[in-house]
A = this chain, B = another copy of it.
Amino acid sequence: MNTRTILSGDRPTGKLHLGHYVGSLTSRLSLSQQATYSNPLKILIADTQVLNNDVSKSEHVKANILHLMRAYNAIGLKNCQFILQSEIPYIFELGTYLSNLVALNHNLRNPTLKSERQMYGDNLNMGFVNYPIMQTADILIFNATDVPVGEDQVPILLYGNDLIDKFHFNFNCNIFQKITPILSSSPRLIGVDGKNKMSKSLDNAIYLDSTDEDIYQKVFSMYTDPKHIHVSDPGQVEGNVVFMYLDVFHSDKEEVNDLKKQYQKGGLGDVKLKKMLFEDIKNVIAPIREHYYNLSDETLLAQLQEGSEMAFEEARDNIKRIKSFIFR
C-alpha cells in the first residue's frame, strides 16, 4: 500500500514576492487541493539550510519564518502540514547514515556544488558539501515521493534516487519509494529591472504585502523598449518586461496578443500598458495583502509547531524503521 506524499519547501531567506507566487505558491495551492494525494501537502521551512551559504544570515531566520507562514496563509493554502526543519533532528541523523554511502568526489560533481567550488575552491564549507545528502534526507525522512521543482533542481532529485539505490543495495532492503519530480510549467518571473531575478538588495521585486503605491511605483519603473519614445513609435515586445508580466497576469490572452501587435506597429503607449498591468497585479496582491497580517505571530507559530510536532513523530517512527535495516 504505497501512498504518495508531496514535499515542497522554502528557505526562510526573505519575504516572498510575485516571483514565488507565480513560480511555486500557485502550484502548491492546486497540489494541496488534489485528491490523488491521501496525505496533506508537506511544506518544509528549511531554516538550517540557510546556514549553508552564510552563517551570518541566521539572525534574520526567525523573522523570515513568520513571513513565509504569513504568505502561505494569505494565499489561502489549506490542508497543509507546515514543518520547521530544525525541529526534526532525525533529518540530520538520516543524513549521517546516508553520508556513508556517498564518496566525496561524487558529491563534488553535483552541478550546484561544482559552480560554488569554482568560486570558493576548497574553502567551501562542509555544510554546503553535505547539502545534496541533507536535501535527500529531508525527502526520505518523510517518505515523500513527489517533489515540485524547477528544471535546475532535477539533478538533485536524481542524486537522491541514486542514493536510494545505494541504500537498498548496501542494506539489502527496499524501503524507499523513488522520488518523482513534479516539474513546474510556470515561467520564471524576472525582476522589474528586466535584468536580474527578484531580490531585496536590488529593489526589483514586488512583495506579496506590497501597497498599491508600491506596486504602482514598481510597475511604472519597469524596463520596456528604450527606443520607444513617442506613442507613435513602433516598439519591441521581446525583452519588454511589461509584456512579460502581462503574459503572466492578464487573463485575456487574446487581448495581450492584440496589444503586442499594436505595440510593434506603433500607436500604443507604455503608460496605457502599465496602467493595465498595475490593475492586474493589484488584483492578485490585494486579497493576499488583505490577509497577510490577519493572523498573529502566535497563531502562525502555533500552526508551525503543530505541523512540526506531527512531523517529529512521523520522522521518529520512520528512522526507527530505517535503522532496523541498518543495524539488523
Partner of A56, one of B108, B124, B170, B319: B170
Bound state CA distance, A36 and B165, in angstroms? 51
CA A93 – CA B95 in complex, angstroms? 10
A 38-85 contacts with B by CB, 8 A: 47-48, 51-52, 55-56, 58-59, 61-62
- Give the interface segment out of A128-136, A148-156, A196-204: A128-136
- SS class, residues of chain A in contact with chain B: helix
Contact, CB under 8 Å: B122 / A126 = no
CB distance from A271 to the nearest CB of B (A): 46
A116-147 residues with Cβ-Cβ distance < 8 A to B are 121-130, 133-134
The answer, yes or no, to whether A96 is at the interface (CB within 8 Å) is: yes
Is the CB–CB distance between A125 and B108 below 8 Å? no
CB distance from A159 to the nearest CB of B (A): 12
CB distance from A6 to the nearest CB of B (A): 24
Q: How far is the CB of A156 from chain B (nearest CB, A)?
A: 15
Decide if A104 touches B123 in the complex (CB within 8 Å): yes
Whether A1 sits at the interface, judged by CB under 8 Å, is no
> Given A59-B327, A100-B125, list of 13 further CB < 8 A pairs?
A48-B93, A51-B97, A52-B100, A89-B92, A89-B93, A96-B127, A96-B134, A99-B126, A103-B123, A104-B122, A104-B124, A104-B126, A105-B121
Interface, chain A (partner B; CB < 8 A): 47-48, 51-52, 55-56, 58-59, 61-62, 86, 89-90, 92-93, 95-97, 99-105, 107-108, 121-130, 133-134, 170-171, 319, 323, 326-328
